[in-house]
Homo-oligomer: A and B are copies of this chain.
Amino acid sequence: MKQLKNLLEESSLKITPQRLAILKELEKKGHASIEEIYEDIRDFFPSISLATIYKNITALKDENIISEICLHHKPKFEITKEPHAHFICKKCGKVEDVPFNELIKGEIDKQYPDSQKELYIYGICKECKEKES
């Protein structure tokens, strides 16, 4: 909880229960859509409005506290951290953060220095592969 508060304190945004709830949700789930955030927060914060979620997602994105990603071409959000890739399991849908292997990053940076990279890898995760055999 304390770290999430810090993220807001270091920005120009005020600390509100709604914003903390959004960040807490993203911290818990890793990645979530607007609708997922809304539904989950409503469980313990029934008065929150969808418009508030939208407005705050935009504000938090502008402050670079959270980042937008596209999983299966649907918008999701995550707390901003070190640049990393995403592995998405085509069977179970699980999403894993994958550190940018230095070799991959180096090779891209050689051709495109100072660029921001977004890498999505769609495959079958270890667990699903084991179940298959």
Contact = CB atoms under 8 A, between A and B. Distances in A.
B117 A120 contact: yes
Integer count of this chain's copies in the complex: 2
A68 interface: yes
How many interface residues does chain A have, given as a range?
20 to 34
A8 to B, nearest CB: 23
Contacts of A118: 118-122
Interface in A5-44: none
A49 to B, nearest CB: 23
A117 B115 contact: no
A45 interface: no
Contacts of A124: 114
